[in-house]
Amino acid sequence: MVAWVKSLCYPIEELYILWSTNRNDNLYKLGHNGQICYLRGALNLKFDTDPKRIRIMEGNQYKYQYIYLDNIQPRFLGTMFLYQDSDYGDTGVDFIVEVPNGLIYDDYSMRTMINFYKLASKRYKIQEY
């Protein structure tokens, strides 16, 4: 008789465990948002638990330097640096996620987590330091 009651309760126990796990995951997701401190904490908790070396920095906001216009003759401008398109202010990234060189992580799952928490209008890139 006891075995019969246990066999009837087993599916209910499994459903309760699944529900409880899903509830805890949802509460964790609701406890974090796109603010830098929460995003950094969530990334460090999932990908780099012990030393917490993942950092979030402001994106580079360089301005374009035009060499010359069509009606002006070329002249000596000194040293000019070439940057990637993502480093300029109007087309660049809003923040940079810096990951240490020795950290082993799945790029796809990190991007998925960042996309879940960040604001829709923000752009980012992941770079190693």
* One-character DSSP codes across 52-113: ---EEEEPP-BPP-----TTS------------GGGBTTTS-SEEEEE-TT----HHHHHHH
Pick from 100, 102, 104: which is nearest to 128 by CA? 100
Looking at the fold, whether 52 and 81 belong to one and the same domain comes out as yes
Q: 3-state DSSP call for residue 124?
A: strand
Looking at the fold, whether 19 and 48 belong to one and the same domain comes out as no
Task: List pLDDT tens digits, range 75-88.
Answer: 666 666 676 766 66
How many domains does the chain divide into?
2
Looking at the fold, whether 70 and 102 belong to one and the same domain comes out as yes
Looking at the fold, whether 54 and 5 belong to one and the same domain comes out as no
Q: What pLDDT shows up at residue 90?
A: 61
Q: What pLDDT shows up at residue 73?
A: 64
Looking at the fold, whether 26 and 40 belong to one and the same domain comes out as no
Q: What pLDDT shows up at residue 12?
A: 92
Looking at the fold, whether 87 and 114 belong to one and the same domain comes out as yes
Residues of the chain under the 70 pLDDT cut: 61-81, 83, 85-91
Looking at the fold, whether 42 and 102 belong to one and the same domain comes out as yes
Q: Which domain holds residue 24?
A: 1-31
Q: What pLDDT shows up at residue 17?
A: 96
Looking at the fold, whether 13 and 41 belong to one and the same domain comes out as no
Q: What is the mean pLDDT of the chain?
A: 82
